[in-house]
Amino acid sequence: MENLRPETRAVHPPVVIPSGSRPFTTPIYQSHLFSFETAEALTGAFDGPNPDGSGFLYDRYGNPTAQAFERAVADLEGGAAALTTGSGMGAVNAVLMSLLRSGAHVVAQRCLYGGTLVLLNDLAERWGVEVTYVGGDDPAEVRAALRPTTALLVLETIANPTTQVVDLPALSAVAREAGVTTVVDNTFATPLLCRPLEHGADIVLHSATKYLGGHSDVLGGIVVFADAELRRRVWTHAIELGSALDAHSAYLLLRGLATLPLRVRRQSDNARYLAERLTGHPAVTRVHHPSLPAHPQHDLARRLLPEGAGGVLAFELAGGREAGRTFTEALQVALLAPSLGDVKTLAMHPASTSHAAVPPEDLASAGVTEGLVRVAVGIEHPEDLWQDFARALDKV
Ligand SMILES: *Cc1c(COP(=O)(O)O)cnc(C)c1O
């Protein structure tokens, strides 16, 4: 239309869509709404955006910046498609809530992320979902746990805090035979160290907040699917749940991804170095890292995680609870903080912090002892980290 007045022109400035050259990165698409040339195109967009970048409608259904991150992680994991969420728990919720119903049965690894365990308990209490917990290393135990109503097998590649490595190929093969979908939380391993879809999983998810983002400045989650139909089922529920990732966060996650291989390799090497130095220290009774020959799944880790056993380690102090607190407070380079995946080294003593409310006799079932310290190793120089640790160990 011609001769529009300033009030109208101010509201309708031209929208610049570059052509002839390409932006170097997918920009932050700070437009949660898209307009269409035809009613038919708008109607079609309610089915969600297409992988070719067409059909964007409304951010809760999908955003171009988020799609760039989805495509990048799907590629790294070897999946057919991916779905971003606003947090790792958003990813866990989107998967469990979309694929379970009242009366459905889940076989889950005992040593899962705390938030996932809380959610499973909640689904059991309020929605009648039934859960059987298994150890994570015995396919016969999984087979025995299966029921006609079993819908999901839920596992973690490397579990917190004792770095248990789950036998993905053996356990997912049992699930596959029975038509059960295997879901693997691959947050600790990242697709650089392990790609669960190659070992028989159907769905892989991440708290992207951790290694994928890598700098503790963004919250996000992602789910990767072996086939696109499974993505559709989860996406259909995710738009009801409202678990979408926002474009700013997607941009930071994409940016983090570029250095993921460098960071994870360094974190994994640093963790192995610290685990080796801690082994045999007089104040330390036990060290948990899959790279150590004494680790219960060391051989499995060498097959499943040939490029490195991850940046998280744990160790037990002879001095128990008091020593754990003293050690983590005496660190000067490493920071006293929960979480993991940061470029900085983070240390935490669960018995005096995250598990402070758990009675001592119940700690063991969570894999926690009174003197256990968990370390999420960063990318600092390993010698500086060891000196920091050695100084703090002198104080316990
Ligand atoms: C942190 C974490 C989650 C939850 O992720 P958020 O981004 O905090 O919601 C899920 N699984 C594992 C293994 C985690 O470490």
Nearest CA to ligand 1 atom 2: 207
Claim to verify: residue 78 and residue 191 sit in the same structural domain: yes
The CA–CA distances, whole Å, from 356 to 283, 325, 360, 369 equal 22, 11, 9, 12
Q: Is 208:228 a contact under the CB 8 Å cutoff?
A: no
CATH number at residue 212: 3.40.640.10
**Residues annotated catalytic, as ranges:** 60, 113, 185, 210
- What was the pLDDT predicted at 363? 80
Per the domain annotation, does 22 fall within a domain?
no
pLDDT at 366: 72
199 and 105 inside one domain: yes
- Residue 242 domain-assigned (yes or no): yes
Q: What is the pLDDT of residues 381-396, one digit of tens each?
A: 999 999 999 999 999 9
The residue contributing the CA closest to ligand 1 atom 4 is 88
Residues 127 and 235 in one domain: yes
Q: Do 204 and 287 belong together in one domain?
A: no
Q: Indicate whether 370 belongs to any domain.
A: yes
Taking CB atoms within 8 Å and a gap of at least 24, the contacts of 62-66 are 62/244, 63/29, 63/32, 63/244, 63/245, 63/246, 63/247, 63/250, 64/26, 64/29, 64/247, 65/26, 65/27, 65/28, 65/29, 65/247, 65/250, 65/251, 65/254, 66/244, 66/245, 66/246, 66/247, 66/250
Please give the number of the atom of ligand 1 that sits closest to the Cα of 219: 7
User: Over 80: is that where the pLDDT of 365 sits?
Assistant: no
Q: What is the pLDDT of residues 154-184, one digit of tens each?
A: 999 999 989 999 999 999 999 999 999 999 9
Specify the pLDDT at position 356. Answer: 84
Name every residue whose Cβ is closer than 8 Å to that of residue 30 and which is 6 or more positions away in sequence.
247, 248
pLDDT more than 90, % of the chain: 93
Model pLDDT, residue 170: 98
Q: What is the mean pLDDT of residues 273-287?
A: 97
Do the domain assignments include residue 338?
yes
Q: Which residue has the higher pLDDT, 365 or 334?
A: 334
Question: Which regions of the chain does DSSP assign to beta strands (E)?
Answer: 81-85, 105-109, 130-134, 150-156, 158-159, 164-165, 181-185, 203-207, 221-225, 284-288, 312-317, 335-336, 346-348, 372-376
Q: Ligand 1: which residue has its CA nearest to atom 8?
A: 88
Looking at the fold, whether 125 and 192 belong to one and the same domain comes out as yes
- 111 in any annotated domain: yes
- Tell me: do 225 and 303 sit in the same domain: no
In our burial notation (b when 16+ CB lie closer than 10 A, e otherwise), range 193-213 reads bbbbbebbbbbbbbbbbbbbb
Number of domains in the chain: 2
234 and 169 part of one domain: yes
Residue 253 CA to ligand 1 centre (angstroms): 15
Q: Tell me which of 386 and 51 has the higher pLDDT.
A: 386
Q: How far is the centre of ligand 1, averaged over its atoms, from the C-alpha of 207 (Å)? A: 4
Within 13 A of 83's CA, how many CA atoms are on the CB side?
A: 33
| Same domain flag for 129 and 219 | yes
Q: Are residues 150 and 225 in the same domain?
A: yes
Task: Report the atom number in ligand 1 closest to the C-alpha of 187.
Answer: 13
Q: How far is the CA of 39 from the centre of ligand 1 (A)?
A: 40
Beta bridge partners of residue 133, listed in sequence order: 108
Residues 216 and 283 in one domain: no
Q: What is the pLDDT, as a whole number, of residue 128? A: 97
pLDDT digits (tens, 9 = 90+) for 229-266: 999 999 999 999 999 999 999 999 999 999 999 999 99
Ligand 1 centroid – CA 24 distance (Å): 30
Question: Given 216, 235, 258, which residue is the final one in a domain?
Answer: 258
Report which residue type is found at 82: A
Within 6 A (CB) of ligand 1 lie 87-89, 113, 115, 156, 185, 187, 207, 209-210, 219, 221
The mean pLDDT of 345-356, rounded to a whole number, is 91
Is pLDDT above 80 for 197? yes
Residue 357 inside a domain? The answer is: yes
Is residue 148 predicted with pLDDT exceeding 80?
Answer: yes
In which domain, by residue range, is 251 found?
56-258
pLDDT for residue 11 is more than 80: yes
**Short-list 202, 205, 111, CA closest to 158:** 111
pLDDT of residue 357: 82
* Percentage above 70 pLDDT, the chain: 100
Give ∠ CA 71-239-227 in degrees, rounded to 5.
Answer: 40
Helix ranges, 158-259 (H): 168-177, 190-193, 228-241, 247-258
Among 154, 187, 212, 217, residue to substitute to test ligand 1 (most atoms within 8 Å of Cβ): 187
Residue corresponding to tokens 């190659």: 198
Looking from the CA of 275 toward its CB, the CA atoms found within 13 Å total 28
pLDDT confidence tier of residue 338, bands split at 50, 70 and 90: very high
Going by the DSSP 8-state scheme, the letter that residue 123 receives in this structure is: H
Q: Are residues 293 and 208 in the same domain?
A: no
Ligand 1 closest atom vs CA 91: 9
pLDDT for residue 377: 98
Q: Which pLDDT band, with edges at 50, 70 and 90, does 1 fall under?
A: confident
- Which pLDDT score is estimated for 2? 87
Q: What is the DSSP letter of 58?
A: B
- Å from CA of 209 to ligand 1 middle: 7
Please state, in angstroms and as integers, the Cα–Cα distance from residue 44 to each residue in 50, 61, 305, 312, following that order. Answer: 10, 12, 43, 45
Q: What is the pLDDT of residue 274?
A: 98
Domain assignment of residue 23, yes or no = no
Task: Among 84, 85, 109, 113, say which to mutate for ligand 1: greatest number of ligand atoms within 8 Å of CB.
Answer: 113
What CA–CA distance (Å, rounded) separates 390 from 392?
5
Provide mean pLDDT across the span 342-370.
Answer: 87
- CATH code of 299's domain: 3.90.1150.10
Q: What are residue 309's phi and psi, to 5 degrees?
A: -100, 15
Q: What Rg, from alpha-carbon coordinates, does the chain have?
A: 23
* Mean pLDDT within 184-209: 98
Closest ligand 1 atom, CA of 339? 1
Q: Are residue 253 and residue 310 in the same domain, yes or no?
A: no
3-state SS of 73-97 is HHHHHCCCEEEEECCHHHHHHHHHH
Average pLDDT, the chain: 96
Q: Is the pLDDT of residue 13 over 90?
A: yes
- Between vectors from CA 210 to CA 204 and to CA 211, what angle results, nearest 5°? 80
Q: Is residue 266 part of a domain?
A: yes
For residue 224, which phi and psi values (nearest 5 degrees)? -115, 140
Out of 224, 258, 292, pick the residue that ends a domain. 258
Tracing tokens 């579990």 back to the chain, one arrives at 159
Among the candidates 258, 282, 314, a domain finishes at: 258
CA–centroid distance, residue 189 to ligand 1 (Å): 13
- 276 close to 309: Cβ distance less than 8 angstroms: no
Tell the residue nearest (CA) to atom 5 of ligand 1: 88
| Residue 367 pLDDT > 80 | no
